[in-house]
Amino acid sequence: MAEPSSSSSIPLPSGNDEQAISHSSSLDTKDEQVTIVKNLTPQEQEYQRLTDPSQGRIKAAFVTLARNREVHAMRSSMRYLEDRFNHKYNYPWIFLNEEPFSEEFINLTRQMTNAETYYGQVPTEHWSYPDWIDQNLATECRERMASQGIVYGGSESYRHMCRYQSGFFYMHPLLDGLDYYWRVEPGVKFSCDIDYDPFRLMQERDLKYGFTIALQEYLLTIPTLWERTLEFVRDNPQYIYPRTRPDSLYNMITEDDGLSYNLCHFWSNFEIGSIKFLRSEGYQAYFNHLDRAGGFFYERWGDAPVHSIAVALMLSAKEVHWFYDIGYKHDNFEHCPTEPDWLVHGKCYCDPGTSFGKCYSVVQSMFILIDALE
């Protein structure tokens, strides 16, 4: 895979240029003090701002959907992220659960951070069947998918989770007043030091969505998702970013001019996003259209393709960021940056050879496009 573009990673000062992170340094002589001043490039100025914790926090938080039994996996995720990043910034943690959190979960997670922690329950109406769903048909669909050996094909709770992550988590009152969220799942690993503030990067560059890993969805879980999406596009052109513009992301999700979905999606168990975007009229209209179609229950639509298709249809290329420099692992899938210096200087401990992503060529093309537009 080619090296990341400047748009997809944060510029780092070189190991032999310590002045890259300061405006000046001084040399004492017998007769006078001589000040050496270096003019910083725009990238170095941005890096200086993004690595300065004294600027204060952005209106943002980590958001986690977790169950009480996942407390130890959650503590592990927190330990990684606190050590790699949040011990310098103390961004708050928001935990959500369809059931009340146990005292054990609350106490053990609070021990892992100096930041504020908040615990909320998912409203019943966001974790149950809407009136228009035929529950007998939904049961038949689950049984059929389970017999086909589809992962989570027979799971009812997984479908409620995907629907909640697609259309409701960002509406929880605990997220009111925030501009950005960083989704964190139990049992994930962060393998690189994050020496800048990704939330500030999102704000300064006016970004709406950030990711690390891109994969392909299993077609049997979303057989009619693209058809329902095309219905929405046809009926709601006012929400769609013009695909004829050079910075359109439309070709990231289709390679035959819209005849089919290429199944590429951002893996949403890691995402940093704009709450305003998800609460926007356009995104809400898209989710409501999909929700009415019933595919969360009659098929097994995941929140990752839903988020990704919405991003590609409604945002420009410059509003999406590949957090290439954040090493991340979930289950057997991992992203590890390939810069040799990062390993030598201890920024990352992961093996670049383990990086996985079936849609990296599509992602690469997207960021080549972004660079060309700058």
**Look-up of token digits 């393998």:** 191
Q: List Cβ neighbours of 1 (8 Å cut-off, separation of 6 or more).
A: 338, 355, 360, 364
**What backbone torsions phi and psi does residue 314 show, to the nearest 5 degrees?**
-110, -15
Which among 198, 357, 193 has a CA at the least distance from the CA of 271? Answer: 198
In contact, 47 and 13? CB cutoff 8 Å: yes
How many residues are given for the chain? 374
In contact, 84 and 190? CB cutoff 8 Å: yes
In contact, 274 and 206? CB cutoff 8 Å: no
Output DSSP code: residue 280: S
Active-site residue identified among 271, 299, 319, 334: 271
Which among 196, 213, 189, 192 has a CA at the least distance from the CA of 341? Answer: 192
In contact, 226 and 255? CB cutoff 8 Å: no
Give the Cα-Cα-Cα angle 300, 306, 310 (nearest 5 degrees): 160
Query: Can 271 be counted among the known catalytic residues?
Result: yes
Please list the active-site residues. Answer: 271
